[in-house]
Structure 1
Amino acid sequence: MIINFHFKKNTMLYLLSSILMVLALTFSVNAQKEIDPTRQMDPVKSLLAQSNKDGKAAQDEIDIIDDATNVIVQEFRQNYQQLKDLTQYNDQLEILIDRQERKMVRIEKDIASISSLTRSVMPLMFKMIDALDNFVELDVPFLINERRQRVAGLRNLMNNPDASPAEKYRKISEAYEIENEYGRTIEAYTGKVSPDDDRTVNFLRIGRNSYIYQTLDGDEAAVWSRKNNGWKKLGGSYRTPIQMGIRIANEQAAPDLMVVPLEITAE
């Protein structure tokens, strides 16, 4: 019985030692498995941080691209509007150019017509000047030097290459109008009797009907005679009426009836 107990005691010790060894090994394995969890999480955190960093960088790039895209779109819209404006302007310009070209064609035709008309008008204007010159020389010789100078000025104008045909014709028409106006007005002025008689006298012109002179002292008066182509002396009875006519012509007296000599030429 003592032997069995000893055997059993040894057996129990052996089993206990085995159990302790197993527990020790188990604890060692578990200890190795239960290393600081924070150290096991570091790679995960690092991966997440890198992922966040990469995501932020990608978002920044997206924002930059989006901003650049907005700028490009805005520039495109501006350029497109400018293109529309330029296209509209060019269309309008083409219309204007077309109208100008057609107008130039009409002007060229008008110039050709004017050139033809000028060739026919120039001889007519020379004839008008010649007729005016003859008229002045045959007319009552009032303001004769002034009227002759006007005709000479027209001849010089016709030889001026810088003067247009329109200007030449206008000056000729003005000269005719001036001569025509003489027949409807009265005038008084001072001058020499003639180149051969240098006495200073008062002249009185009543239209073309009567051309009179009176000396400054009033003692002598004469009327121009178309028939005799010279001066015809007047009697003393005309002294006061002539003086009154001179005053009326100079607007020194109110208009009134005037008694003046008239020459009636029989047909």
Structure 2
Amino acid sequence: MKNRRLYSKVLLPLASLLVIGAAQAQDVDTSDIERAQSVVGETNREAAESQNRINRLSNSSSSLFEEFKVESDNLEALLVLNANWRRQIAIQEQELETIAESIGEVRNVTQELPLLMNRMIASIEQFIELDFPFHLDQRRARIQFVRDAIDNPNVSTAERFRQILVLYQTENSYGRTHETYSTSLELDGVQRDVDMMRVGRISLTFQTKDRSMTGAWNPETRQWQTLDPAEYRNAVRDAINVSSGMIAPEIFELPIVAPELAQ
């Protein structure tokens, strides 16, 4: 019984102490927890702000890097473009030098060109007068037309020279063609209507409309020469018909002066 009472006496103070200690411990723990939570919250806020700053710096860094890449690409493109321009400028400078040399040559040619054109006209005019006498009025008219163009101040030098070249080309074409046309000739003091047959520049023959007279141009005597009707009347008439398209093409005979060997 004494022991039980002793234990009871001892337990009562201990229980009281535990209750008081628990109450005190409860008061101390609540305050510390609140302070700890406040510290944790502040730490979290600071961490969040730090993370935000890190994110902003990261985004800014990425943006700057992208801008750097764009500017770097632009710089590379400009360098390539600049190199191309330098090559083009070098080529253009060479072309300018060539043009300058050509201009100097053109000045010399321009000074000599009028004399050359006059000589060309005089040469072709002399050639026509010495050639077979076909279409003389037309050919002389072409020469006069070119002379008028040369004397006209409103006609450019290029156009004048072109007209001369056209004149030469026209005369040159006569050597590769044949034709038949009607004209009139003075034969034995009488003007007669004839059919003229030209084959290049190797033969120029005629026959009167009534076929009573057949002849050819003799380049040696530079006169019209009558031919033997029995030998050439039908041959010349057939040639005229072939050239004018009245009959089918065939081989025909024409009087041709044989070329001479050069001495």
Q: Do these two structures clear the TM 0.5 threshold for a shared fold by scoring above it?
A: yes
Instruction: Indicate the larger mover: 106-115 or 169-178.
Output: 169-178
* Counterpart contact for 2:195–2:209, Cα < 8 Å: yes
How far residue 32 of structure 1 moved from its aligned partner, in angstroms, is 5.0
2:5 maps to which residue?
Answer: none
Instruction: Indicate the larger mover: 204-213 or 117-126.
Output: 204-213
Q: Answer yes or no: is 1:81 the counterpart of 2:73.
A: yes
What do the CA deviations read for 1:58-107 (whole angstroms, capped 9, x no partner)? Answer: 21221122122112111111211210221122123112212211220221
Task: Give the secondary-structure state (helix, strand or coil) at the position aligned to 1:35.
Answer: helix
Give the TM-score taking structure 1 as reference length: 0.71
Picking from 197, 201, 204, the partner of 1:204 is 197
2:30 maps to which residue?
Answer: 38
Question: Which runs of structure 1 show a deviation greater than 6 angstroms over 4 or more consecutive aligned residues?
Answer: 23-30
Q: Structure 1 residues 98, 209: CA separation in 2 closer, same or farther (over 3 Å shift)?
A: closer
Distance in structure 1 (CA, Å) of the matches to 2:44 and 2:124: 110
What do the CA deviations read for 1:34-71 (whole angstroms, capped 9, x no partner)? Answer: 42623441122022112212211221221122122112
What do the CA deviations read for 1:10-54 (whole angstroms, capped 9, x no partner)? Answer: xxxxxxxxxx9xx99998798556426234411220221122122
Distance in structure 2 (CA, Å) of the matches to 1:113 and 1:80: 49
In terms of Rg, which structure is larger?
1
Distance in structure 2 (CA, Å) of the matches to 1:208 and 1:124: 26
1:105 maps to which residue?
Answer: 97
How far residue 133 of structure 1 moved from its aligned partner, in angstroms, is 1.8
Picking from 212, 229, 233, the partner of 1:239 is 233
1:53 maps to which residue?
Answer: 45
Distance in structure 2 (CA, Å) of the matches to 1:259 and 1:32: 154
Name the % identity: 24
Distance in structure 2 (CA, Å) of the matches to 1:71 and 1:215: 103
* Counterpart contact for 1:192–1:198, Cα < 8 Å: no
2:184 maps to which residue?
Answer: 193
Q: Structure 2 matches for 1:152-163, cutoff 5 A?
A: 152-158=144-150, 159=152, 163=156
* Counterpart contact for 1:213–1:222, Cα < 8 Å: yes
What do the CA deviations read for 1:208-263 (whole angstroms, capped 9, x no partner)? Answer: 44322224453443434567766555553232011122234346444425143759
Task: Give the secondary-structure state (helix, strand or coil) at the position aligned to 2:132.
Answer: coil
What do the CA deviations read for 1:90-143 (whole angstroms, capped 9, x no partner)? Answer: 123112212211220221111111211221132011111022123323433212
* Counterpart contact for 1:188–1:202, Cα < 8 Å: no
Letter in 2 for 1:70: S
Letter in 1 for 2:73: Q
Q: Structure 2 matches for 1:1-267, cutoff 5 A?
A: 31=23, 34-35=26-27, 37-158=29-150, 159=152, 163-165=156-158, 168-169=160-161, 171-182=163-174, 184-185=175-176, 187-193=178-184, 201-224=194-217, 231-237=224-230, 238-250=232-244, 252-260=247-255
Number of aligned residues:
241
Which sections of structure 1, spanning at least 5 residues, go unmatched? 1-19
CA RMSD of aligned residues (A): 3.8
Which sections of structure 2, spanning at least 5 residues, go unmatched? 1-12
Give the TM-score taking structure 2 as reference length: 0.72
Letter in 2 for 1:113: E
Instruction: Indicate the larger mover: 73-82 or 202-211.
Output: 202-211
Distance in structure 2 (CA, Å) of the matches to 1:219 and 1:94: 83
Q: Structure 1 residues 192, 263: CA separation in 2 closer, same or farther (over 3 Å shift)?
A: farther
